[in-house]
Amino acid sequence: MGWHSNREFFVSWEELHRATRELAHRQLPAEQYKGVIAVSRGGLVPAAIIARELNLRTVDCVAVSSYAHDQQKDELALLKDVSATEDGEGFLVVDDLVDTGNTLKFLRKRLPKAKFITVYAKPAGIELVDDYVADLEQETWIHFPWDMHLHYVEPLAGQES
Ligand SMILES: O=P(O)(O)OC[C@H]1O[C@H](OP(=O)(O)OP(=O)(O)O)[C@H](O)[C@@H]1O
Ligand code: HPA
Ligand SMILES: [Mg+2]
């Protein structure tokens, strides 16, 4: 597992690779799928790993953005639609995580026959995802490796006061 406190969960490249391979393994047999749809941008790296493991060469992506529709509610808009399929039948839609579930709720309307999978899931979004590898508390923020940088940390003994 990645290093985590109650409120933050830091995922290394190795851990992301391991967890995503586990997710791929759970989707076997690969022959039942036509391809993979990444939810850009967080789903791009996991989707590439899954496409490699399942030997799927058709890889499409969908891009969504949230915008303030009125003072209270954020709504989602499709920035880039898929072209590989009409309704998602035979496709795996891959994202890095499901949090509130808003993104997947929106995409399920667009791709009702696809299978939706994420590496991580928080409780509010679990019903929206068909498979995932690890669940985390709703309050925990996940830091993905592409958002991080290795840096020096003082030894514990040097931090005593
Ligand atoms: O379940 P939800 O509450 O919708 O949250 C999950 C989504 O939020 C993040 O993407 P984000 O929209 O921040 O964009 P990014 O993938 O480009 O980082 C994450 O990659 C998921 O796609
Ligand atoms: O926990 C998270 N980490 C990174 N991006 C996110 N987008 C929604 N929730 C998260
Ligand atoms: Mg995303």
- Number of Cβ atoms within 10 Å of the Cβ of 97: 23
Mean of the pLDDT values across residues 73-95?
94
Q: What residues are labeled active site?
A: 95-96, 99
CB 117 within 8 A of CB 97: no
Q: What is the ipTM of this complex?
A: 0.99
User: Model's pTM, two decimal places?
Assistant: 0.93
pLDDT greater than 60 at residue 136: yes
pLDDT greater than 80 at residue 70: no
Residues with CB under 5 A from ligand 3 (ion): 42
Domain positions in the chain are: 3-149
CB 100 within 8 A of CB 113: no
Tell me whether residue 55 is annotated as binding.
no
Strand segments, DSSP code E, in 11-58 are 35-40
Ligand 2, atom 3: closest residue by C-alpha: 142
d(CA 107, CA 147): 24
Q: Which whole-number Å values give the CA distances from 76 to 36, 41, 101, 102, 107, in the listed order?
A: 22, 15, 12, 8, 10
Mean of the pLDDT values across residues 27-45?
98
d(CA 128, CA 106): 10
Tell me whether residue 41 is annotated as binding.
yes
Q: What's the confidence (pLDDT) of residue 6?
A: 73
Fold of 3-149: Rossmann fold (3.40.50)
Mean of the pLDDT values across residues 149-156?
94
Determine the atom of ligand 1 nearest the C-alpha atom of 124.
Answer: 1
Q: What value does the mean pLDDT of the chain take?
A: 94
Tell me whether residue 128 is annotated as binding.
no
d(CA 42, CA 32): 24
Q: Is 142 in the pocket of ligand 2 (CB under 6 A)?
A: yes
Which uninterrupted H or E stretch holds 61? strand 59-68
Packing angle, helices 13-25 and 44-53, rounded to 10: 50
Q: Is 98 in the pocket of ligand 1 (CB under 6 A)?
A: yes
Q: Work out the pLDDT band at 5, boundaries 50, 70, 90.
A: low
Q: Work out the pLDDT band at 66, boundaries 50, 70, 90.
A: confident
Which uninterrupted H or E stretch holds 136? none
